[in-house]
Amino acid sequence: MIEESQINHRHTLVLRENAEMLLQQGVGHPNVQFRPGQWEAIDALVNHSRRVLVLERTGWGKSLVYFISTRILRDQGRGLTLVVSPLLALMRNQMDAAIRIGLNAFTMNSTNVDEWDDIESKAQKNQLDLLLVSPERFANERFLKNLLQIVSSRIGLLVIDEAHCISDWGHDFRPDYRRIVGLLKQLPPNVPVVGTTATANDRVIEDIQHQLGSIHVHRGTLTRESLKLRAMVLPDQATRMAWLAEQIPKFSGTGIVYVLTKRDSIVLEKWLRTKGIDARAYFSSVQSENFDTSDEYRQHLESLLLDNKIKALIATSALGMGYDKPDIAFVIHYQSPSSVITYYQQVGRAGRAIPQAFGVLLSGKEDSDIIEFFRKNAFPTEEMVNQLLEYLSSRDGASVPEIEKDLNLQRGKVNKVFKYLSVQIPSPIIKVGSKWYRTALEFKLDKSTIEHLTSQREIEWNQIQEYINTSGCRMAFLQKALNDSNVKNCKKCDNCLNQSLDVDEYRGSIIIQAKKFLQQIEFPIEARKLIPKDACPTYGFQGRISSDLMASEGRVLSRWADDGWGSMVRDGKISGHFTDDLVEAVADMILNRWKPSPFPKWMTYVPSARNPDLVRSYSRRLAEKLGLPFLEVLIATGKSKPQKEQQNSFHQCHNLDDAFELIVPILQEPVFLVDDIVDSGWTFTIASVLIRQAGSREVYPIALASTANT
């Protein structure tokens, strides 16, 4: 007599054989077999309907676990698999892999809205095997009504990709992930759930378990045998730029250079291309005139790297989780990331299917300021939360533009507060259409948790500094920081080999070239095109600015306090005098690189009631250098507050209403309009309209430095 256990065993063996055939089909290799843990995770999902957290290094094959599980479950007549993924790049890579497994897979995101009707129809007819969505879809009324409410009762498998995003403690916490908790509560108990991540320490794992309920953790080693890790401190930008120019061509294959800001991405792309290195900037809003949307251009850049048609992408964290290129030969960090977890996530892009790859971390003096800015703005303040809740309580709903007009708050911060509050369970606010409403729920911000999280992130920042300065094995350091139980020395990093990077290799002329490049890397000043309604009642400006009144594209010499001219601008602002070196620098920019046409016939400046001589003196000397007449055509009325105190476009514009008076007559010729600092661009916008109204032709703004956080 055959026992039931024997039947189950045979059934499992057959399933495993079928699953391995799907694996071979998916990766395109007829002899490939499961890695340790892959089948065990699949078995837990398809045979035991468990909730599983798969914690494995990048490249291990986590997506194959849920693709193969989906195929098996669908063949058994189960419902569709819903995959929650955080990034479009991740979705694109995963969609290709899902199709190879033979799945009828679709994605719903902000770039394919025109396909939603068809996807919704297929889902309602049970014609989808797998649907990938971003967590932000769970806040979309149409998605909830037309799709999720219909299919939630027949979901066959729920996948939470990059599951660390659900945890406050994770390196990339996303509030919208918290909405998944609500979906989990609605699922029948026999629906399998799998969370996947490559980066989570014990603290994050514990929080994920708390969020997802009783969950089995499958945890592999984080050792990356192919990675050769290096780290060094090169405080100034020019030295790091020189190192990149010298060393990137020596790496075989292609790679990624991670930066902290969009501006750095643009600067390094230009620099490396002048040195004959085919590098491209990559960030969330990167544009190209040859592509209709940023998303299309990003896909193009990803493909160029994937096909080894460029040497490197110079990327912000927008190129992050899930970018699937197994032969990345190097990952270089131009600046320190915020934590060891973030670093491991990013450096783990390299060497997934090649015997040797390099991970190099360069550390600069600006790193800590940038990271501190991100850290301070990670969570809403109690003051802003209370201010917005009180505001909504006094009104029958309000849109964000209405809030901007009434409250001097940044739009990004308002949206961040609303995102934070809307994912609370239950939430003190609700959105209907374009308006937010206050619910009857009592709410008090959990300050202690936020303070604790912020403090923990400070500890994590100190930990990445320890990594940079450690004399021990770097891979072992990362493993210990991530609570890996299989810690061992890699015998490949600079410390294990006692081979520090040779600073002398790139000293000399190339550093001088980099410094000169930084002094010639000015950026455009784009004119504002629209005056907010009711922002300028005194001047009578409103709506779209006509082309005959709009400022022309200008130039800003530097970024505040950078290693080009920015440090000299900062020193001049503090001392109350801009040196003649800055006069020479702007004159050189105008005459030898910018060369605006038609070329201005005179020069003026933006006056200040608080420091009347600083910009006036500088502008006069610049006019003399260029041989142009210098005219004071505007005076400051003293009726405005400091522009840096204004937090959104409405208030930045409104603050300048009646801030200047014109002195006429005015030259009816093109003019340079000079100021020391530019941020929002509103001062140049209003001053330019006034000057053009008085009869001037083209107005070309010039600023010495930009303080915009880019």
**Residue 577 CB-density burial (10 A; 0-12 exposed, 13-18 middle, 19+ buried):** middle
**Is the preceding omega at residue 598 within 30 degrees of 0, hence cis?**
yes
CA angle 251, 252, 253 (to 5 degrees): 115
The β-bridge relationship of strands 660-662 and 634-636 is: antiparallel
Output the CA–CA distances (angstroms, integers) from residue 94 to 84, 192, 297, 344, 349, in the order listed.
11, 20, 19, 21, 15
Share of the chain above pLDDT 70, in %: 94
* pLDDT at site 173: 63
Q: What local confidence, expressed as pLDDT, does residue 96 receive?
A: 73
Of 410-424, 665-679, 682-696, the range with the lowest mean pLDDT is: 410-424
Share of the chain above pLDDT 90, in %: 56
Confidence class for position 244, pLDDT limits 50, 70, 90 = very high
Average pLDDT over residues 674-680: 95
Question: What average pLDDT does range 203-207 have in this prediction?
Answer: 84
Residue 148 is predicted with a pLDDT of 77
**What's the average model confidence in pLDDT over 180-186?**
80
Q: In sequence order, what DSSP letters do the residues of 52-73 get, joined into one string? A: EEEE--TTS-HHHHHHHHHHHH
E strand residue ranges, 527-611: 530-536, 541-544, 554-559, 602-605
CA 347 – CA 382 distance, rounded (Å): 36
CA-to-CA distance for 567 and 235, rounded, in angstroms?
A: 14
Tokens matching residue 181: 């908790």
Residue 14: strand, helix, or coil: helix
Q: How confident is the model at residue 502 (pLDDT cuts 50, 70, 90)?
A: very low
Provide the strand spans (E) within 222-356. Answer: 227-233, 255-258, 279-282, 312-315, 330-333
What's the pLDDT score for residue 138? 78
- Backbone φ, ψ for residue 475 (5° rounding): -65, -40
How open is the CA angle 597-598-600, to the nearest 5 degrees? 110
Query: What confidence score (pLDDT) does residue 168 get?
Result: 65
- Kindly give the residue spans of alpha helices, DSSP state H, lying in 201-331: 202-212, 237-247, 262-274, 294-306
Of the pLDDT bands very low, low, confident and very high (cuts 50, 70, 90), residue 316 is very high
- Is the pLDDT score of 7 beyond 70? no
618-674 pLDDT per residue, tens: 999 999 999 999 999 999 999 999 999 999 999 999 999 999 999 878 899 999 999
Which of 44-53, 562-571, 595-604: highest mean pLDDT? 595-604
Distance separating alpha carbons of residues 456 and 340, to the nearest angstrom: 12
What sign has the CA pseudo-torsion 191, 82, 146, 429? Answer: positive
In this prediction, residue 2 has a pLDDT band, given cuts at 50, 70 and 90, of very low
Asked if 646 contacts 671 with a C-beta cutoff of 8 angstroms, the reply is no
Per-residue model confidence (pLDDT) at position 505: 54
Q: Quickly state the pLDDT bin for 709 (edges 50, 70, 90).
A: low
Residue 259: per-residue pLDDT: 96
In this structure, what DSSP letter does residue 197 have?
Answer: E
* Span between the terminal Cα atoms of the chain, in Å: 73
Question: Is the confidence at residue 1, as pLDDT, over 50?
Answer: no
Predicted model pTM = 0.86
C-alpha distances out from residue 627 to 54, 261, 352, 432, 553, Å: 69, 38, 60, 60, 22
* Long-range contacts of 488-494, Cβ-Cβ distance < 8 Å, separation of 24 or more: 488/223, 490/223, 490/225, 490/227, 490/229, 492/227, 492/228, 492/229, 493/228, 493/229, 493/230, 494/229, 494/230, 494/231
Confidence of residue 89 (pLDDT cuts 50, 70, 90): low
- Name which residue leads in pLDDT, 67 or 100: 67
Q: Are 701 and 253 in contact (CB under 8 A)?
A: no
| pLDDT tens, residue by residue, 52-73 | 999 988 778 888 999 999 999 9
Neighbours of 188 (CB within 10 A): 10
Cβ distance 41 to 48 under 8 Å?
no
User: Which has the closest alpha carbon to 151: 124, 176, 178?
Assistant: 124
Mean pLDDT score, 112-118: 85
DSSP-derived secondary structure letter, 113:
G
Closest CA to 541 of 650, 657, 680: 657
Look at residue 274 and tell me whether its pLDDT is greater than 50. Answer: yes
pLDDT tens per residue across span 476-498: 999 999 888 889 899 999 999 98
393-419 pLDDT per residue, tens = 999 999 999 999 999 999 999 998 998
Task: Please say whether the beta carbons of 19 and 67 come within 8 A.
Answer: no
Query: Mean pLDDT over all residues of the chain?
Result: 89
Is pLDDT of 278 > 90? yes
**Residue written as tokens 């160029």?**
304
